[in-house]
Amino acid sequence: MARIENNLIALLPRKDRLRLLALCEPVDLVLAEVLCERGDTMRHVYFPIDGFISLVTRVDDHPALEVGMIGREGMLGSQLVLGMTIAPVQALVQGAGATWRIGVAAFRRELASSAALQRSLNRYFYILTVQMTAASACIRFHLIGPRLARWLLMSQDRAHSDQFRVTHEFLAYMLGVRRVGITMAAVALQRKGLVEYHRGELTVLDRRGLEAEACSCYADEQNMYSELMR
């Protein structure tokens, strides 16, 4: 198993890393696939390699809203560090690609026997909790344009490419706003020469410019991850 390419696994000591990888199977994440619904008992945990997953929540009959994102930097199922197998949110594949998958029972046994894995996932669970908490404040206080820039940066980070597929309809769904608001914000970014959008394909043209447009949440999350996940 030469291919790791998931940061949580790569950070483990060699012995722990090889033992965990021996339990893994490579599978593909399919675009728009629902990996679990809120309240489901999880059967597998996922360590994305080059795909990425949106964490989505719903309130009553309102449209769904994205509250977190998982790519190569993390894992789906981090609540297992607390002994909880119930999914707290829906997990929706936002970017197709490869992932490592492990059955929950096997993962829990490995978690119990690896102090290094426990330490790493405790830190990652904290980071993910902060990300999901910050999302609610971001939705309440930040304008659509900076939020859109942040979302595009997060997606680019996890797609590992300047180009990825996304529609205005999906963006509105993820950010919890009307499609017309997304269209106006996206047009503004295009006019500034930061992105290019054509038939569902978005290309980031000016990464630094997009970072300057993004709300403070993006840099805060990047700095926290770099500080804690060493």
The pLDDT tens digits for 77-93 are: 999 999 999 999 999 99
Chain region(s) in the chain for CATH 1.10.10.10 = 143-214
77-82: long-range contacts, CB 8 A cutoff, minimum separation 24: 77/42, 77/44, 77/45, 77/46, 77/104, 77/107, 78/121, 78/124, 78/125, 78/128, 79/125, 80/42, 80/45, 80/104, 80/107, 80/108, 80/111, 80/121, 81/111, 81/118, 81/121, 81/122, 81/125, 82/125
The CATH classification number of 143-214 equals 1.10.10.10
pLDDT band (50, 70, 90) for residue 117: very high
Chain region(s) in the chain for CATH 2.60.120.10 = 7-138
In the chain, the percentage of residues whose pLDDT exceeds 90 is: 75
For 46-68, what is the mean pLDDT?
88
pTM: 0.91
Q: Which CATH superfamily is domain 7-138 in?
A: Jelly Rolls (2.60.120.10)
